[in-house]
Amino acid sequence: MSSNRPDEVSRKQLHPQAANLARQHVDRFATALILQSKLLAFRRGDDEVQSTHVNDAVMIVYQSRVEGRKKKLSTLLGGGLFGVFVSESVTQVIANNIGLFAVFVVFGLLGLGLMVYGTGQS
């Protein structure tokens, strides 16, 4: 068993593939951060990218990732609700069960709305 000394953590070696993957993630984040910082400076009419642009860009990049996850989840949930509507609404009409049909119509409309939100532009 290993002890839980902090200096042991810093001595852990990265496998070459892990180091390469980490570098790719850092490069992607850095590229997004620099681009967003420059865009903020341009929009604000500044002559150069300043630390405030970089700090604001960090928040924007993180927020866009969170928003992307929300949109993916919304699309999945909306697709499920719309799928339930499509599969069950015909069954309820045939069974002359208008109450359940109305519930499935609500599911369908809600699902459609969630899918539109999830696939829409930011």
100 lies in a domain?
A: yes
6 lies in a domain?
A: no
Q: What's the pTM value of the predicted model, to 2 decimals? A: 0.56
pLDDT score, position 1: 47
Q: What is the span of the domain harbouring residue 76?
A: 15-119
1 lies in a domain?
A: no
Q: Is 45 left (phi over 0), alpha (psi -120 to 50) or beta?
A: left
2 lies in a domain?
A: no
pLDDT score, position 8: 82
pLDDT, tens digit, for every residue of 69-113? Answer: 899 999 999 999 999 999 898 888 888 888 889 999 999 999 999
Position 38, amino acid: K
Grouping H, G, I as helix, E, B as strand and the rest as coil, residue 41 is helix
Domain count, the chain: 1
Q: Give the other-Cβ count within 10 Å of 89's Cβ.
A: 18
The whole-angstrom separation of Cα 122 and Cα 114 is 14
Average pLDDT over residues 51-56: 96
Among 60, 18, 16, 14, CA closest to 35: 60
5 lies in a domain?
A: no
58 lies in a domain?
A: yes
pLDDT score, position 10: 83
Average pLDDT over residues 37-51: 96
Average pLDDT over residues 26-47: 95
3 lies in a domain?
A: no
